[in-house]
């Protein structure tokens, strides 16, 4: 049953236009400013260590009980054009504490300055580095994972596909939250959930796509993982809110991956919104608990 806190959150959110709707139109600079704001860990004992991987800003987020040899690369959301690791430090800390792993958050390059596939290449570079460099910078990993939300969820799926195609080592599993995975914008929920999603309007999505792709083919599976062949991909956990306009991206990825023999755990959360894991709701912690259980079950 949906918590009273979640129902009240949705009621309040619906009082203002969703992002991209009339009255809250797309504004790249404003979006970037908002998603650059740091959301720090609640637990002051969590260790946050910023550094640069080449020119890419990164940060290790490690809870006191975390095993630094178990590592998760986290790819932030933001429509491929905004967002920052700092904005997800709080979520990374909760994952680190609950799953007892070290989390590497990456500020990958953003469109339109750096269109597809720049962010994907950055994710691949960071994942490759993370396999042999942990918070202490020298020790190899015993288990690795890739996770991300929204655009970062799409990048998570694309990174798994690219690693497989390039015959590079794969993580133990992938985790995609509210994945933005169809840049053709053809999922049925784009229409059916248009009036239930209080966070994101369909009005902004074409702009995200145009800025990110810059003329590249939206049918490229690395841009739209809903179209991919998932053969040889490690197990997946997909979480999405039922109210989301991009809800069906996750459902379609699940169908494709299962057709290709991949183990998929799909969670469609009733009455939940886009990236509800960061909303501080009872369901947020329940979903993080499920992420932690999934990570523990797939450690190698």
Q: 41 falls in which pLDDT band (50, 70, 90)?
A: very high
Task: Note the pLDDT of residue 48.
Answer: 98
In contact, 247 and 254? CB cutoff 8 Å? no
Active-site residue flag, 29? no
Q: 137 falls in which pLDDT band (50, 70, 90)?
A: confident
Question: Which whole number is the average pLDDT over 34-46?
Answer: 96
Coil, strand or helix: which one is 182? coil
Q: What is the pTM of this model?
A: 0.98
Host H or E run for residue 52: strand 47-53
> If we measure between CA atoms, which residue out of 94, 77, 95 comes closest to residue 36?
77
> If we measure between CA atoms, which residue out of 172, 149, 120 comes closest to residue 249?
149
Task: Note the pLDDT of residue 230.
Answer: 98
Partner residues linked to 104 by β-bridges: 60, 73
Place of tokens 């694309």: 158
Q: State how far Cα 240 lies from the chain centre.
A: 11
Q: 220 falls in which pLDDT band (50, 70, 90)?
A: very high
DSSP secondary structure, 85-112, as one string:
SGGGHHHHHHHHHHHTEEEEEE----TT
Provide the mean pLDDT of the chain: 97
From the list 150, 187, 189, 201, the catalytic residue is 150
Residue 152: is it exposed, middle or buried by C-beta count within 10 angstroms (0-12/13-18/19+)? buried
* Domains held by the chain: number: 1
Task: Note the pLDDT of residue 71.
Answer: 98
Task: Note the pLDDT of residue 99.
Answer: 98
Question: Which whole number is the average pLDDT over 257-278?
Answer: 98
From the list 82, 274, 283, 284, the catalytic residue is 274
Which region, left, alpha or beta, applies to residue 217 given φ > 0 means left and ψ of -120 to 50 means alpha?
Answer: beta
Q: Could you give the CA distance from residue 60 to residue 77 in angstroms, rounded to a whole number?
A: 18
- The CATH code of the domain that includes 265 is 3.40.50.1820
From the list 244, 250, 283, 284, the catalytic residue is 244
Residue 68 pLDDT > 90, yes or no? yes
Residue 226: give the domain boundaries: 4-297
> If we measure between CA atoms, which residue out of 175, 144, 165, 153 comes closest to residue 229?
165
Residue 223 pLDDT > 90, yes or no? yes
In contact, 135 and 49? CB cutoff 8 Å? yes
- Whats the size of the chain, residue-wise? 300
Active-site residue flag, 3? no
Please write the tens of the pLDDT for every residue from 142-194. Answer: 999 999 999 999 999 999 999 999 999 999 999 999 999 999 999 999 999 99
Place of tokens 């053969």: 231
Q: 138 falls in which pLDDT band (50, 70, 90)?
A: confident
Contact residues for 33 (Cβ-Cβ < 8 A; gap 6+): none
In contact, 71 and 104? CB cutoff 8 Å? yes
Task: Note the pLDDT of residue 275.
Answer: 98
Partner residues linked to 268 by β-bridges: 240
Active-site residue flag, 250? no
């Amino acid at each position: 049953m949906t918590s009273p806190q979640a129902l009240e959150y949705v009621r309040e959110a619906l009082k203002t236009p969703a992002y991209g709707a009339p009255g809250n139109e797309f504004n790249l600079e404003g979006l970037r400013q908002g998603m650059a704001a740091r959301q720090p860990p609640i637990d002051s004992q969590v260790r946050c260590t910023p550094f640069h991987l080449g020119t890419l800003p990164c940060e290790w987020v490690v809870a006191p009980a975390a095993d630094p040899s178990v590592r998760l690369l986290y790819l932030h959301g933001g429509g491929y054009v905004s967002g920052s690791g700092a904005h997800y430090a709080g979520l990374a800390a909760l994952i680190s504490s609950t799953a007892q792993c070290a989390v590497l958050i990456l500020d990958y390059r953003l469109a339109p300055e750096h269109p597809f596939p720049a962010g994907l290449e950055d994710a691949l570079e960071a994942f490759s580095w993370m396999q042999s460099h942990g918070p202490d910078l020298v020790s190899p990993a015993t288990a690795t994972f890739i996770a991300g939300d929204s655009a970062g969820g799409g990048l998570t799926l694309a990174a798994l596909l690219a690693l497989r195609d390039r015959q590079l080592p794969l993580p133990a599993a992938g985790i995609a939250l509210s994945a933005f995975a169809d840049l053709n914008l053809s999922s049925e929920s784009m229409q059916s959930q248009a009036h239930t999603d209080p966070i994101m309007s369909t009005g902004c999505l074409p702009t995200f796509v145009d800025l990110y792709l810059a003329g590249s083919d939206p049918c490229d599976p690395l841009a739209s993982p809903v179209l991919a062949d998932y053969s040889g991909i490690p197990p997946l956990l997909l979480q999405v809110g039922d109210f989301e306009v991009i809800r069906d991206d996750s459902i379609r990825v699940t169908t494709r991956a299962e057709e290709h023999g991949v183990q998929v755990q799909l969670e469609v959360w009733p009455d939940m919104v886009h990236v509800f894991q960061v909303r501080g709701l009872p369901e947020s912690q329940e979903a993080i608990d499920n992420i932690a259980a999934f990570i523990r079950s797939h450690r190698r």
